[in-house]
Amino acid sequence: MKSFDIPKFYKSPVISRIKNSRKVNDPRKKDYSPTLLDFGPVQFYIARHFGFCYGVKNAIEISYKAIEDNPDKRIYLLSEMIHNSEVNNDLKNRGVGFIMDTSGNEIINWSELKNDDVVIIPAFGTTLEIEKKLNEIGIDPLKYNTTCPFVEKVWNRAESLGRSDFTIVVHGKFRHEETRATFSHSKESAPTIIIRDMDETILLGKIISGETGINEFYKIFDGKYSDGFDPEVHLNRIGVVNQTTMLATETMAISEYLKNIMINKFGLQKINEHIADTKDTLCYATHDNQKATYGLLEQNADLAIVVGGYNSSNTSHLAELCEEKLPTYFISSSDKILSSKLISHFNYHDQSERVTENYLPEKEVIKIILTSGASCPDSIVDDVLQKILSYFETSKDIESVLLDID
């Protein structure tokens, strides 16, 4: 695995030590159980996998290199480089401008850009239309392209399926940058449709089976299909690919559901002619983080703290998994821990922030699950752990606890 040049302030002496220990003892990543840090009155279950993934490290390395390489030029990001405010704010503080917000709305007018400006493509990738616009200005969109290799793998698979006359079904959030980019690339080589979840999958399945009329397709999926999409023709051969930050289990369930629809319609013997096997498009990092979360949830904990950007899709999915079992607090940094009694946390269901009292139960030993999203620096997770520890005067010191896991 490639090593990356990441600024030291994103690293953590505590979390890095835990990760290194697990890497040495489980190099093939077969053990998804968490690491237990027993401080006496409070115990932390630390996820086996969390934090910066390969794609995020790659994007950070390229972005900071762009700043280093171009001290006298104007540098822009198309939009947030990753979904983490700490990282994006640091880039802003270093003079990097943002052309668009995460929804694609202009912050800086395209007419303000010059051909000697530097533009960084974020980890989510971008659309072919935006690449063309940058080329017309005279800016090379690929010079500092931080698109995650696993996102590009999805694009390449979609292109390959299109050449074999398959239609692409993208499991993703329609307005997410990555899904917009995937849709743009996919529709160049194949009819493409975006579905959000299993509910929309069931609706699509009813159209494929003929249970729902074709006219309903255009109402249900308005704006979510490529030009010239003909459901009577284009839903007979399909392949499911995903937005890499979606729940891998949900993508697999969607693909399996549609496979059964195709079996009922065309028969088992011809199934490979009607739905492609696309398991190879699932992001390993998202898969590992989610499996590690299931490992966390096997523990008898009192609460979960999930750390990451509030607009981070993969982080919200980790919070979603945790809240199915126990009280879960989705926070962006240690600043959200207001005291030992109060915590300000994000409710991704209604996109609101709320304050909860007495989040730490009154027990002799409190057990806390701790994890973070793929775009969250380890240093922020470290800050969260240490802030909570500060409320327990009789807790063991960190070094003695870490010696137990070495």
**Sequence-separated (6 or more) residues with CB below 8 Å from residue 176:** 124, 243, 245, 313
d(CA 76, CA 82): 14
Q: Which of 106, 178, 273, 324 is catalytic?
A: 178
Helix, strand, or coil here: 293? helix
- Strand 167-171 with 192-195, pairing: parallel
Question: Which pair of tokens denotes residue 5?
Answer: 């040049």
Angle at 248 between CA 247 and CA 253, to 5 degrees: 100
Residues 50, 321 contacting (CB under 8 angstroms): no
What single-letter DSSP state applies at residue 281? G
CB-based contact 344:331 (threshold 8 Å)? yes
Q: Closest Cα partner for 60 from 382, 376, 309? A: 376
**Is 178 a residue of the active site?**
yes
Q: Whole-angstrom Cα distance, residue 57 to residue 35?
A: 23
Per DSSP (E only), the strands in 57-165 are 75-77, 97-98, 118-120
Tell me how far CA of residue 254 lies from CA of 37, 107, 196, 251, in angstroms: 37, 36, 10, 5
Residues 299 and 368: their CA atoms lie apart, in Å, by: 10
Query: Cα–Cα distance between 379 and 393 in angstroms, integer?
Result: 22
Residues that are catalytic: 178
